[in-house]
Amino acid sequence: MKLVFASNNKNKIKEIQLLVPKTIEIVSLEDIGCYDDILETADTIEGNSILKANFITEKYGLNCFADDSGLEVDALNGEPGVFSARYAGEPKNDDNNMNKLLSNLKNKSNRKANFKTVICLNINGEQHLFTGIINGKIIEEKIGTNGFGYDPIFVADGYTNTFAELSIEEKSTISHRGKAVKKLIDFLK
């Protein structure tokens, strides 16, 4: 089965391809000739995943799935949330986003946070949502070089290493995206 993943983010595509069985071939936006910048204008993570999936289904008529993810920090009332990728403004920059977050958390004792992913699957005229959440905390400095986004400052509950210190295989089995993809795969079976 071929399934379009409404993304050109090579890191996300790599993570998801590792998680799905060999019977499912993940096809990127580039693979279908889509170079449009799909605007993420919803005010929720769920809303953005729906916008992206609907764009592909409506424009190309293909079965597809899209995801949106965000980091939600308790002490910041859920920030950066839906604005995670552009928290420090345009253009998107992981280091700037992490620096802003660490600055906003300075002198805060509550460092609890969670990563949340919502996948929207449009298949055979139906729409389904799958959510994955991983709880953890934000540490005070960046550690590790793997991963992307906020990985160098996030430690999942029950772990001592940041997501950026884990291999892509380790991270994808416990991550928010990994949990949501597992629900997607279970549904597709």
Show which residues are catalytic: 68
CA distance linking residue 120 with residue 47, whole number of Å: 9
In the chain, the amino acid numbered 49 is S
Q: φ, ψ for residue 116 (rounded to 5)?
A: -130, 135
| CA dist., res. 93 & res. 107, Å (int) | 24
21: nearest Cα among 150, 188, 157, 148 = 188
User: CA–CA separation, 119 vs 48, rounded Å?
Assistant: 10
**Order of all β-strands in the sheet with 25-27:** 25-27, 2-5, 64-73, 112-123, 126-138, 154-156
Q: Are strands 2-5 and 64-73 parallel, antiparallel or unpaired?
A: parallel
**123 SS3 class:** strand
Q: Please state, in angstroms and rounded to a whole number, the distance separating the CA atoms of residues 127 and 122.
A: 5
